């Protein structure tokens, strides 16, 4: 081949390639400019968050679950399967606060069939949709591109028709099955119901919506269901009409609320009405056999009393005329506070006078009080974003015990409950993997991030630091600040700082000097909690983060309120406001007296002392334990064992802290000891040390067992709930460590039970 010919062909190829490259560059530039134009008319999205250029103010939602009450048998012998499908129409009315040509909202696993957009003027104007994009990622965004922009200050409506699939797990809109027994016909029928569980981000799986907590709206709901079933929703029933096999049940508008509180159920359940509230109609729904058996009477009774208490305590009435409680057979969570329609896991709320323990009432009343508290903390006043979910859950946990102490004063659960919450929080917060109560907003974006926050830190630590703050401010001042918070932010979405401002206003009104924000931000914005170490010979005190792996370094420190008492002086309040060691005169043992910090254990921290003060405290417990407050008797044991676990004190000290139990009859110290000694029992049960350990525990528990023997031998239980827990502890520790009297009692009871239950093997 001639060389000249090759050069000519090469030149032609280069020219063609150059043309393509130039054309490509021009195309990229055009597309880039188009993208820039699009970005100029559309607010740039933060990661995983909706823009705030469109704000919803109301929805009209029609939903139809295609659900049979039971699987039907056809004439040819085949069964009709549940379709698990639902369809609906959602009309959202929204306000445009910033000009945009794109509508962003949430939709998850829904098939959208129609998307008309209307400008809401006297004369409705339809807007054309140019494109719809569904994000196949954790954002669940649905983007609707319009041919013309939405104008600032105008109102619009978006009507969406859709189909979806009901879940068989209790998330989103799901189907639940239960068995109904007809003893006369000897027939066991499987019944079905539909229910919702939307917290935190599953409303978008039921209908397209602006599914973020600060995008509150009013909901007008209609449920289409088979006419042999009953529909419930957030609001009271407005009307119902039958059309063939279907019923249309409409509900009065809800208060302005977040999407995760939207709820409805379709079932054949029956109800009873509470008679303990005069103004709000409270109904408790359950399976017919549960209702007729009277198993929901206690839940119905106590619900009215709790709601009435909260209305008086908060100074804000419940915002709807009705409140429904419904007991669902297989709800994954134990309770969900949907506004006006609270759902519960059935097994937790049942109480049978014949077989239930009195302690079962404690579980029921605490759970109902928690969900009732949410009608204010979470429903009426909702955190702005999920990173501050502790403002919902911490408050509901704290306030539930305030209510229980009022409606069931004989339970005397305040101290026991808060110690349980404190223990739960400490266990998680002493690990490097813990997180702050108020993590940075940018770190909580996806549904996975949000769900991780529903843990013991949010619930138990949240309640514990509120209890510490209330003790420091004074219960009455704290109460006034909380009432202001609920009043000022009704139907709104405050942030943590708004709570501090309301509490600070109460401090100022009371002529106090507490700087609430400065005190509390170290507890909510940081991970973990401190251990304070006190040298009672010098009065020196310092703090560090408590970790089971004590070799880990941490620079964090806290503003710590500390209540201190001694064998010669009543409790006084001091503050530790630095990381460096400081000296406090109140902490000096001037005449050999013991010093006790964190009186009544209201503070969220552990305490260590110099060896001499530990010795004085433990000696006091053995000589006259009643000079040490009851809660602190449990605290000293719990702190000693956990400090030993972190290698801050010797294990011998921890074991010595249980010596006084030989004469102790109160539940709190025994609970702390048995829980912490479980590790030693498990470690030594197959070693030579297990025998001496059993002998020690047998000797220690003997007096406690005898203290309750009059009840135990007569098959009776004490009246107070703390004593009931104490009786259980006495029997458990005594029998597991082979105390002869306990073994004899257990054998007798078992023999009598065997004799009276001839069908026990069936």
Residues 6+ apart with CB under 8 A from 591: 568
Closest CA to 393 of 292, 446, 465: 465
In this prediction, residue 120 carries a pLDDT of 79
The per-residue pLDDT of the chain, averaged, comes to: 90
Which one is catalytic: 371, 393, 415, 666?
Answer: 371
Q: Is the pLDDT of residue 79 over 80?
A: no
| pLDDT tens readout for residues 340-394 | 999 999 999 999 999 998 899 999 999 999 999 999 999 999 999 999 999 999 9
What tens digit of pLDDT does each residue of 400-431 get?
999 999 999 988 878 888 889 999 999 999 99
Is 565:574 a contact under the CB 8 Å cutoff?
no
* Backbone conformation region of residue 474, classed left if phi is above 0, alpha if psi is from -120 to 50, else beta: left
14-18, 291-295, 568-572, 625-629: least confidently modelled range: 14-18
DSSP letter string over 264-278?
EEEE--EEEE-SS-S
What Cα–Cα distance (Å) separates residue 311 from each residue in 337, 343, 370? 16, 21, 14
172: which 2 tokens?
């989103």
- Tens digit of each residue's pLDDT (9 = 90 or more) over 185-207: 777 888 999 999 999 999 999 99
Bridge partner list, 225: 247
pLDDT tens-place string over residues 502-531? 999 999 999 999 999 999 999 999 999 999
**At residue 34, does pLDDT exceed 50?**
no
Average confidence (pLDDT) over 305-328: 97
Residue 694 CB burial class (10 angstroms; 0-12, 13-18, ≥19) = middle
Is 199 known to be catalytic? no
In the structure encoding, which two tokens stand for residue 408, read together? 């069931």
pTM of the model: 0.91
pLDDT digits 0-9 by tens, 451-504: 999 999 999 999 999 999 999 999 999 999 999 999 999 999 999 999 999 999
Which pLDDT value is given to residue 324?
98
Confidence tier at 36 by pLDDT (50, 70, 90): very low
Tell me, what's the pLDDT at 182? 75
E-assigned strands of 546-671?
560-566, 572-576, 582-583, 595-597, 606-609
At 625-657, the pLDDT tens digits run 999 999 999 999 999 999 999 999 999 999 999
């Amino acid at each position: 081949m001639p060389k000249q010919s090759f050069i000519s062909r090469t030149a032609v190829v280069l020219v063609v390639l150059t043309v393509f490259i130039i054309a490509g560059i021009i195309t990229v530039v055009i597309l880039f400019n188009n993208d820039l134009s699009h970005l100029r008319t559309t607010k740039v999205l933060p990661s995983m968050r909706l823009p705030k250029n469109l704000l919803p103010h109301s929805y009209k939602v029609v939903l139809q679950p295609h659900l049979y009450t039971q699987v039907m048998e056809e004439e040819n012998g085949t069964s009709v399967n549940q379709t698990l499908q639902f369809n609906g129409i959602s009309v959202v009315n929204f306000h445009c606060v910033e000009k945009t040509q794109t509508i962003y909202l949430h939709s998850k696993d829904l098939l959208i069939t129609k998307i008309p957009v209307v400008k809401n003027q006297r004369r409705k104007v339809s807007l054309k949709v140019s494109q719809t994009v569904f994000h196949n990622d954790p954002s669940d965004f649905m983007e609707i591109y319009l041919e013309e922009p939405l104008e600032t200050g105008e109102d619009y409506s978006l009507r969406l028709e859709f189909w979806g699939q009901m879940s068989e797990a209790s998330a989103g809109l799901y189907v639940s099955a239960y068995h109904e027994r007809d003893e006369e016909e000897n027939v066991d029928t499987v019944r079905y119901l539909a229910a919702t569980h939307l917290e935190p981000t599953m409303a978008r799986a039921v209908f397209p919506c602006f599914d973020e907590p600060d995008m509150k709206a009013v909901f007008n709901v209609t449920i289409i269901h088979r006419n042999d079933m009953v529909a419930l929703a957030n609001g009271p029933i407005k009307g119902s009409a039958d059309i063939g096999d279907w019923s249309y049940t409409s509900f009065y508008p809800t208060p302005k609320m977040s999407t995760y509180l939207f709820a409805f159920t379709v079932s054949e359940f029956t109800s009873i009405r509470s008679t303990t509230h005069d103004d709000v109609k409270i109904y408790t729904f359950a399976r017919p056999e549960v209702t007729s058996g009277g198993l929901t009477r206690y839940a119905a009774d106590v619900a009215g009393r709790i709601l009435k208490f909260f209305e008086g305590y908060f100074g804000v009435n419940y915002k709807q005329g009705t409140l429904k409680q419904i007991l669902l057979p297989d709800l994954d969570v134990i309770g969900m506070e949907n506004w006006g329609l609270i759902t519960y896991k059935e097994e937790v709320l049942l109480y049978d006078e014949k077989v239930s323990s009195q302690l079962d009432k404690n579980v029921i009343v605490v759970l109902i009080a928690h969900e009732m508290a949410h009608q204010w903390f979470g429903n009426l006043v909702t955190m702005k974003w999920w990173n501050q979910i502790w403002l919902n859950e911490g408050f509901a946990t704290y306030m539930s015990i305030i209510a229980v102490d009022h409606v069931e004063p004989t339970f005397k659960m305040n101290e026991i409950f808060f110690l349980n919450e404190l223990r739960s929080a400490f266990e998680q917060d002493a690990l490097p993997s813990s997180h702050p109560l108020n993590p940075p907003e940018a770190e909580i974006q996806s549904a996975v991030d949000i769900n991780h926050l529903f843990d013991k830190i949010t619930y138990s630590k949240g309640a514990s630091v509120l209890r510490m703050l209330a003790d420091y401010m004074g219960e009455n001042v704290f109460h006034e600040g909380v009432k202001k918070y609920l009043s000022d932010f009704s139907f709104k979405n405050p942030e943590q700082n708004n709570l501090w401002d309301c509490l600070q206003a109460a401090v100022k009104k009371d002529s106090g000097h507490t700087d609430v924000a400065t005190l509390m931000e170290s507890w909510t914005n940081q991970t973990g909690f401190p251990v304070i170490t006190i040298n009672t010979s010098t009065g020196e005190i310092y703090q560090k983060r408590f970790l089971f792996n004590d070799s880990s370094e941490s620079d964090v420190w806290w503003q710590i309120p500390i209540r201190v008492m001694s064998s010669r002086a009543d409790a006084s309040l001091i503050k530790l406001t630095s990381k460096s060691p400081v000296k406090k005169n109140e902490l000096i043992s001037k005449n050999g007296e013991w010093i006790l910090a964190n009186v009544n254990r209201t503070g969220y921290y552990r305490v260590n002392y110099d060896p001499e003060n530990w010795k004085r405290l433990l000696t006091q417990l053995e000589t006259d334990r009643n000079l040490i407050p009851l809660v602190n008797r449990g605290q000293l044991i719990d702190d000693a064992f956990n400090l030993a676990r972190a290698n801050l004190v010797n294990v011998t000290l921890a074991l010595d802290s249980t010596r006084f139990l030989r004469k102790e009859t109160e539940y709190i110290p025994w609970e702390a000891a048995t829980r912490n000694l479980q590790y030693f029992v498990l470690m030594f049960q197959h070693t030579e040390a297990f025998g001496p350990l059993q002998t020690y525990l047998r000797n220690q528990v003997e007096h406690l067992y005898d203290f309750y023997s009059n009840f135990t031998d007569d098959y009776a239980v004490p009246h107070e709930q703390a004593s009931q827990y104490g009786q259980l502890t006495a029997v458990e520790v005594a029998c597991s460590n082979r105390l002869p009297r306990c073994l004899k009692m257990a054998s007798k009871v078992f023999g009598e039970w065997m004799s009276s239950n001839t069908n026990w093997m069936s």
